[in-house]
Structure 1
Amino acid sequence: MFKNMQVPLAFFLMHTGMMFFLFPTDIIASTKEIHWLPIVTGLLIQVAIIALYLKGVRYYKGHNMVSVLMRKNRWLAWATFLPLWVYIGALAALTVRAFAEIISIIVSSSMPLWHFDFMFIAIPTYIVLRGGIQGLMRLGLLIAVLFLPSVFFVLAASFQNVDPHYALPLLPRSTADFAFLGHASYYKSLFMFTGCFLFLGLVPSYVSFTARGIYIACGLLVPMYLMSVYIPLMTLGEETASQLEFPFIFTADTIDIEWLMFDRVTMFLVLGLLAFILLFIAALIWQMENVFRLSVRNVRSGILLPALAAVLFVVCLVIPDWKSVNAIFRWHSYLWGYVTVVTPLVVFAVGRRYVGQPQKEAP
């Protein structure tokens, strides 16, 4: 039971670490009102894709999806996993570069950005090198114990200045309320719903988990998604929140707790989210290593991981500024769309043909 919690908890932490920075900005930019509608639409897409993916993963009965596909059809495997590997690598570089910029703005703008780039790559690489995915999952439990209470504390404190009237209207009144479906910012925000699930097809060979645990984690993420958007909306109003780069972080910075010895409550939130982000980057680096070793060449981790880290660092140095990060994220969303649709379909189709109907999952 305890081991089965590790993967769902890591899944929850990775999403939580990402959502409070970029997600509110994209959702608020995609619509003027009824913001729960694009959030719920994204959640339904997430559940549908993950359900198909986990159904396919269950067919493999605890085997790594890459090794199974390589045995079944090598050309299909390469056609599937080459875009996946490029996607994961680009996502790792963009995540490192984006959060280096964000942490620089929040913590210390005087420190060179490449210092943050190096930290965001070196620490996760060392974690994966020393502990592998098992160590990464155990670290997720420790991070949850240390930092989730402070994140929940800041979330609770953030309600002190809200005005519920800013959340109105709550019900759709016309088809115009679905205009977010044609907005580029909305499709950029969908990364939050489906950007962290692909590792679920790679971990069964190393760490056990149940589909039920993942669905519970998805359910627990629902109020987190809603709070990340509605707390800044109900505190600042839509007009003001839409002008800010990081509306939730700005809202957290307005919290005033007289009995607290720290001047900025935001630091509690940032430290917790930073730990979750490092966990996410470590998972991406592990996925890159795992896919490469199983589908291209079995290179020792002591050689492959530092090489991947060096390439990521160089790519991060090439990206000049925050404007470029946003532009690349938009182009990256096309690759994201392809990978998050094609990979689950291939995993499901090959799994169904490879082993037939899965056994019933133990509760």
Structure 2
Amino acid sequence: MAKPRIKKGVTLLISRVNSIITIPLFFFGTHCSIIFLLFPRALLRTTNHGHWEPALLNMIIELFLLVLLLKGLSKAGNLDYADLLLPLGRWMSSFLLIPLTLYLLLIGIMGIRGFAELMQIVFVLRSPLYSLLILLCLITYVGSSVGPRGILRASTFLSLLYLPALLFALLGCSINNSKWDNIFPIINTSFDFMHHGMYLVSLFSICPFLLLGMLPPVTKVRMKPILLTMVPLTILYMVIVYIPILVYGINAASLMNYPLATSIDTVNITWTIFDRISIFYAAALLAFVMLTASFVLWSSALLVKKMVPIWKESYIRPILCLFIFIIAFLIPNWNSYMSIASKDVWFRLFIYILIPLAVYFRGGFIQRKERK
């Protein structure tokens, strides 16, 4: 009698630790992999002042979609996207799951291709693009092979290891090179950013909330810890937008392709073991990009496996990894990268709106059916 009770107690403890610590750190880390490279550039071009307003609106939109998704998942029980939506039938489930799978792959493609560009700037200027992409895709494939529990454990370790380094880089940039007069005017009463197409591009930054829909069979996702994580995330969103403004001013910062990376690279702290503080930034970003890319590769492979059960997952993952490499390699330069980020806006909005709504209504249907 004692052994089953001990086993049950350990299982409950692990579940609680995952809900309170592991999942929020994973949620925070996946945001870090997305927002640092492209988000400042996109948001700086939406308006000339009051940039905290569009950043805050981004988080409000994500909060609404996140609550909708988590409520649907909690009503449905331990079901992921495939288990929730496949019973709707072949045509409806394909209409929902195929675009979702493609979008998950797109997250991996954009993350890996964007970081390869940063690696050429910070680490290895003369290395060919294909060699960097091969390295990143191999790490992604190995990471996806450990499974969701391994990825979640790695997210906790990497967050504890690299978040301090990332915060150190941001803090060093803020203290050393900031001109605080550049922050004014703070308030934008015209809300002109809402009329700017670049604002819709910046909404790519909220996509990590979709990854939570693949976790219920692995571990329970509690709403309260995730909502509490939104508070430091909102602060981080505002900080990474205002650092280039404080360093360069809005006119210069809005013209840069890599405003945050360039701002961090201006800091020279002689007592560190590295000459450039941007090394801390790039190393932390590498960890979070690989974490997110590994998870989306595992998730997309699982979705494909459940949609087509006769296919072996051991074959699906390498094929999808090769697909990520090929598409990333076909993006020739940063302008093409930004063009993709601008042209996939409506596809992205389609996923953001349709998937949380489908999960919410499907979860409600399952809950009512169980009550009857």
With the length of structure 2 as denominator, give the TM-score of the two structures. Answer: 0.91
Aligned pairs for 1:16-95 within 5 A: 16-95=32-111
Distance 1:217 1:74 in 2: 37
Amino acid aligned to 1:24? P
Aligned match of 1:2: 17
Once the two structures are TM-superposed, the CA of residue 95 in structure 1 deviates from its matched residue by: 2.3
1:44 and 1:34 mapped to 2: Cα distance?
16
Deviation at 1:339, TM superposition (A): 0.5
How much does 1:126 deviate? 0.9
Deviation of 1:88 (Å): 1.8
Deviation at 1:358, TM superposition (A): 9.9
Select 1:147's aligned residue among 134, 154, 162. 162
Matches within 5 A, 1:258-269: 258-269=270-281
1:270 aligned residue:
282
**Are residues 1:135 and 2:150 paired?**
yes
Distance in 2 of aligned mates of 1:116 and 1:334: 30
Identity of aligned residues (%): 26
Secondary structure (helix, strand or coil) at the match of 1:244 reads: coil
Report if the CA contact (8 A) 2:86-2:93 is conserved. yes
Question: What letter is aligned with 1:133?
Answer: P
> For 2:256 and 2:84, how far apart are their aligned partners in 1?
46
1:243 aligns with 2:259: no
Q: Structure 1 counterpart of 2:70, which letter?
A: L
RMSD: 1.7
Gaps of 5+ in 1: none
Question: Alpha carbons of 1:223 and 1:209: their partners in 2 closer, same or farther (altered >3 Å)?
Answer: same
1:309 aligns with 2:324: no
Moved more, 195-204 or 313-322: 313-322
Q: How does 1:100-179 map to 2 (within 5 A)?
A: 100-129=116-145, 131-160=146-175, 161-173=177-189, 175=190, 178-179=191-192
- Which amino acid is 1:258 matched to? T
Residue 266 of structure 1 aligns with an amino acid whose one-letter code is: S
- Residue aligned with 1:204, SS: coil
CA deviation profile, 1:75-102 (whole Å, cap 9, x unmatched): 3221111111122223322222222122
Give CA deviations for 1:31-88 in whole Å, capped at 9, x if unaligned.
1111111111111101011111111111111222311321244432211111111222
Any conservation in 2 of the 1:61–1:358 contact (CA below 8 Å)?
no
SS at match of 1:262: coil
Counterparts of 1:19 and 1:64 in 2: how far apart (Å)?
Answer: 25
The question of 1:11 aligning with 2:24 is answered no
Equivalent pair of 1:6/1:209 in contact (CA under 8 Å):
no
* Uncovered stretches (5+) of structure 2, i.e. residues with no partner: 1-15
Could you say which residue in structure 1 is the equivalent of 2:304?
A: 292
Cα separation, 2, equivalents of 1:159 and 1:94: 28
Contact map agreement 1:163 1:235 (CA 8 A) in 2:
yes
Q: Deviations over 1:315-352 (max 9, x none)?
A: 22222222211111111121101001001111111111
Distance between the aligned counterparts of 2:261 and 2:230, measured in 1?
23
Q: Residue 201 of structure 2 is aligned with which of 175, 188, 200?
A: 188
Q: What letter corresponds to residue 186 of structure 1 in structure 2?
A: Y
- Give the aligned partner of residue 225 of structure 2: 213
3-state secondary structure, aligned to 2:48: coil
Per-residue CA deviations over 1:130-189 (Å, capped at 9, x if unaligned) read: x1111000000110122111111112212222122211112233x3xx111121211111
Q: In the alignment, residue 199 of structure 2 is paired with which amino acid?
A: Y
